[in-house]
Amino acid sequence: MMPVAMSDAIDNTTTGLTALPDDRSGVAGQARHAAGGRHRVVVVGGGFGGLYAVKGLADAPVDVTLIDRVNHHLFQPLLYQVATGIIDEGSVAPALRSVLRGQANVEVLLAEVTGFDLAARTVQALAPDERPLAIGYDTLIVATGVQTDYFGHDEWAEAAPGLKSLEDARWLRSHILGAFEMAELADDAAERRAWLTFVVVGAGPTGVELTGEIATLAHRVLPRDFRNVSTREAQVILMDGLPTILPRFAESLRRRAASDLRTLGVEVRTSTLAVEIDVGGMTVRRSDRSDAGTAPDERLAAHTIIWAAGVRAAPAADALASAAGAARDRIGRLVVGPDLSLPGHPEVLVVGDMIAGELPGIAPVAMQEGRYAASLVEARVSGGPLPPAFRYHDKGTMATVGPRRAIVDAYGLRVGGLAGSVMWAFIHLYYLIGWGNRWVTLLRWLLQMTTRNRSNRLVDVEHAASWRELRRRGEVTGPRLWERMRRKDGAG
Q: Tell me which stretch binds ligand FAD (CB under 6 A): 18-26, 73-81, 286-294, 436-444.
A: 73-81
Please list every residue from 135 through 174 that binds ligand FAD, using CB under 6 A.
143-145, 163-164
To the nearest whole angstrom, how small is the minimum distance from the Cβ of residue 434 to ligand FAD? 16
- Shortest Cβ contact with ligand FAD: which residue? 47
Rounded distance between C-alpha atoms, residue 123 and residue 113, angstroms: 7
Q: Tell me which stretch binds ligand FAD (CB under 6 A): 223-231, 249-257, 346-354, 371-379.
A: 346-354
C-beta of residue 235 within 8 angstroms of C-beta of residue 301: no
Q: Tell me which stretch binds ligand FAD (CB under 6 A): 173-181, 188-196, 233-241, 361-369.
A: 361-369
Q: Tell me which stretch binds ligand FAD (CB under 6 A): 63-71, 373-381, 445-453, 477-485.
A: 63-71
**Residue number with CB closer to ligand FAD (50 or 332):** 50
Residue 76 binds ligand FAD, judged by CB under 6 A: yes
C-beta of residue 365 within 8 angstroms of C-beta of residue 359: yes
**Residue number with CB closer to ligand FAD (196 or 199):** 199
Residue 22 binds ligand FAD, judged by CB under 6 A: no
Residue 70 binds ligand FAD, judged by CB under 6 A: yes
To the nearest whole angstrom, how small is the minimum distance from the Cβ of residue 382 to ligand FAD? 25
Residue 91 binds ligand FAD, judged by CB under 6 A: no
Residue 366 binds ligand FAD, judged by CB under 6 A: yes
To the nearest whole angstrom, how small is the minimum distance from the Cβ of residue 130 to ligand FAD? 14
Residue 316 binds ligand FAD, judged by CB under 6 A: yes
Buried b (16+ CB within 10 A) or exposed e, 14-51: eebbbbbbbeeeeebbbbbbbbeebbbbbbbbbbbbbb
Exposure of 462 by Cβ count < 10 A (0-12 exposed, 13-18 middle, 19+ buried)? middle
To the nearest whole angstrom, how small is the minimum distance from the Cβ of residue 353 to ligand FAD? 4
Active site residue 298: no
Residue of 181, 209, 213, 378 marked active site? 209
Residue 202 binds ligand FAD, judged by CB under 6 A: no
Query: Which listed residue (107, 112, 149, 409) binds ligand FAD by CB under 6 A?
Result: 112
Residues annotated as catalytic are: 209
Contact positions toward ligand FAD, by CB under 6 A? 44-50, 67-70, 74, 76-77, 79-80, 112-113, 143-145, 163-164, 205-206, 314, 316, 352-354, 361-364, 366
